[in-house]
Structure 1
């Protein structure tokens, strides 16, 4: 199966007409994107981009062989431009299926938002999933019974001999709104519809994320990628070496966006365990408000554990861990080893803390889990007035350095911008 992405942008394109935002101003060259449209094997067109014939010509393709045009957007979606000679666009009813004379089979999937998703199976058995912007499969993908009759369209006919029950393995390629609905990708991973071998392509890209390196960095963290308009891919061919790190450390100052960055890096993965090292403080309303803010923006499918006992979590197999944060872990650990008292620090507190840090770093080195950890970056200029304050500053700097040594990715967030350090 061959797939040509005639457009990869949001319905309004990128840059948006008459938009003067900084992100639209930077969207030029390969980062400029027309509305998303996919041409499959030169015979099936999924959605229409403005000037589709010209877009196909720029990609070295022709629309002359197209026998079916399918729409995925809601009925009140963007206006359509249908070139002369193309079949009239149609929408396949949910849970119904059509078979094309080219040997392609298309099944319409019900979604949790307006629009229609399509599963396309090529004559070679390769499988493609395409979702419209802002949508995810309703319920469990691929497990809904097919409709009672075939959809109609050019070259369409019934097809009923394929198994319907359960998820029948991962797709070869998934094309969806990764940035707008990372939870859709998480859901597909959870049911096995997306595996390590699946090529995840981000489309419907608008100006919510800066184009260029930042766009591609965020997608890589989700195990996805974006390609320029006009790119032709062979479905099932290797997409290149994976860039998904197993261990990531996100550093930053107060309100720098470090926690949001860490959460974003795991938003496309199911069953994340959020490890809150700060615990609860019933006598501190401000702390309670901060905790509530974090909880409200986390996906409902994530599980929270309030603990500083990180080594057993790192040593056990399971879903990804988000540890927020190491500075609070250090505070609690320094409490336990009585590191704040100068005399007790000299008599054994320093040794006890070093042993705890070494155990944590060793567990991170051997962990089988996907880990994203958050920590504060302190001591960039102000010298604490007390020995205990200087001790905490120094020990946090050492902890961050040792933790970073074991991480494939290290980022520093400044003013909401994540700067890759490694």
Structure 2
């Protein structure tokens, strides 16, 4: 398939090109592309990296430097590239243990190694039927559609339209492998607080994720569903949090632990509405509610990104200390065995064409689609740019 073909799903394998929401036909994928955000690996990389992240917005370097201090605090090194190296190695080991012949290539949106280079290397190595796994679990422009745009751009930028097809693993926000590490973290944290004599009603669990503009949130997910405030992006997080807290009852002996969804890492202008409440604003008011401890759950992140290290481990912890309450931050999935195994399950799901009715999911929102629906996660500022793994536009 080429970019000029009149197919419903650009660049897709024949099994996915027809646009059905679930691909229930086996596909002989011959390589996996691990797609991620990327991050700087030294002080000299920070501003060029941030220019890449904000390309097209005309933001001067002076403004970028206001964000750069987060990276400079950690020596100019984002943890994300090393985390992806570890995830790639873990995936390769699990894939080999399952007896699959599926080489793994890795490419980023905003820093080396770049996604077009990963596609080129895979094609030069003789692979033509590619499956892409993005390190993002939820619906939004930057975490879903932009990755699909990245895939399309990588193929066209590398001139691979006649050489490869590319499908994408479904969003995995409610897959058991993704949820289990968070579940364990919450249960361990609450169990420890209870053992220290803090009552369940005096604990607060805050599920934190990246704030995004409310307009982008409202456009996340298929348009034919009323997702409520915050769109599919908020609905997915809330559904997973509700599942985790429902399971927590077994730890508390039936006692209820109050919880809510909060947001972090806002970066837009004050005039633009973003999802709220901010985690620091919530933490600062917890003493007024009688809370004595807070469990911070980085539910929106697959690993300890810079936003976790700075916004949670630094700023949120400082806010909790100022409020005089105990704070615990639970782990991200990272390379947790259940997460790695779950990702390979998702890969095999596409290789075997597993029927949707047999696909594991822990909320009523899943399993999510293999092929994104029309208009899903539109960026109103940029419009509909070419995107793989979804129906046009």
Q: TM-score, normalised by structure 2?
A: 0.25
Q: Which has the higher helix share?
A: 2
Q: Which has the higher strand share?
A: 1
Higher Rg of the two aligned structures: 1
